Amino acid sequence: MNFALIAAALGLTMFAAPAFAQPAPEDIIAMGDTNHDGGIDKTEWAAMGAPVDFPEAADTNHDGKIDLAELKALFATFQGGGAPPPPPPPPAPQG
C-alpha cells in the first residue's frame, strides 16, 4: 500500500475545503487496516502518516481501534463544523 497516498487522502478529508472530493470512510479503513481486523489501530494510524494523533475520543467502544462506524461518526463531526485539533507546532530552535 502507498501510505503517502493514504495520508494525503486522510489529510484532505480532515482539512480540505468542502469543494474537494473526500475519500469515503470505507476507503480509508480498507487502505489503512493492514491487519484486516476491521479498524485502524494506533500503529496503523501512525503508519498512514495522519496529520493528527490517533483520535482516542473517536474510539467510543474503547477497543483500541477506529472502526467504520466510529470513523463515520468522526467525519460527521468535522462536516458539522467541528474540526480536528491542529498539529503541534514545530519545536523552537535551541540556542
The pLDDT tens digits for 44-75 are: 999 988 888 888 999 999 999 999 999 999 88
Residue 86 confidence (pLDDT) above 50: yes
Model pLDDT, residue 4:
46
Which residue, 74, 66, 13, is CA-closest to 42? 66
Q: How far is CA 95 from CA 4, 32, 92, in A?
A: 34, 40, 9
Q: Strand, coil or helix: what is 2? A: coil
The pLDDT value recorded for residue 60 is: 93
Which tops the pLDDT comparison, 30 or 84?
30
Domain spanning 27-83 has what CATH number?
1.10.238
Is the entire prediction scored with pTM above 0.85? Answer: no
In the three-class reduction of DSSP (H, G, I as helix; E, B as strand; rest coil), residue 75 is classed as: helix
Residue 25 CB neighbours (<10 A) = 20
Q: What is the predicted pLDDT for the residue at 66?
A: 95
Domain boundaries, the chain: 27-83
